[in-house]
């Protein structure tokens, strides 16, 4: 890895969220509500391609994703924009999956889902706080992913 101008060769970690997805799409319905199967939408694909172009000058040492389709697709688009001799192989680390949600109850739309989720992120630092009733405890999610 070469040092950036003005640095002494420090390593940098680039964290990305996946591109746009539709949590109410047919893939989720067909999978019985399993959020782990959700792929990128066409907009998400364009976002990932744009991120790849924006990061094409960065020489990555490693690339790691959770293995969920949306994260793998995003990473693949970003790596595809790397110089042909410079892209690392994409690694999968299942410990990086998102916080496992609990019972959302019946939600009718994206706004309702976002409102329920936002409240639980607000209390994430409290002992024993989980992602919705019956969901993963935030502290446990942090321990497996860091």
Please give the helix or strand (H or E) that residue 116 lies within, else none: helix 110-122
- The predicted-structure confidence for 86-135, as pLDDT tens digits, reads as follows 899 999 999 999 888 888 778 788 888 888 777 778 888 999 999 888 89
pLDDT at 2 over 70: no
What's the fold here for domain 15-98?
Answer: Rossmann fold (3.40.50)
Parse the chain into domains and list their residue ranges.
15-98, 100-146
pTM of the model: 0.81
What backbone torsions phi and psi does residue 63 show, to the nearest 5 degrees? -140, 125
pLDDT at 37 over 80: yes
């Amino acid at each position: 890895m070469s040092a950036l101008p003005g640095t002494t060769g420090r390593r940098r970690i680039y964290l990305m969220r996946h591109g746009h997805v539709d949590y109410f799409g047919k893939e989720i319905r067909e999978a019985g509500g399993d959020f782990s199967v959700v792929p990128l939408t066409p907009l998400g694909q364009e976002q990932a391609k744009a991120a790849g172009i924006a990061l094409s000058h960065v020489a990555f040492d490693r690339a790691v994703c959770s293995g969920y389709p949306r994260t793998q697709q995003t990473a693949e688009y970003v790596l595809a924009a790397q110089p042909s001799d410079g892209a690392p192989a994409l690694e999968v680390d299942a410990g990086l999956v998102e916080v496992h949600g609990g019972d959302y109850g019946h939600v009718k739309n994206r706004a309702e889902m976002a409102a329920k989720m936002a409240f639980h992120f607000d209390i994430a630092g409290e002992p024993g706080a989980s992602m919705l009733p019956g969901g993963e405890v935030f502290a446990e999610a942090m321990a497996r992913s860091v």
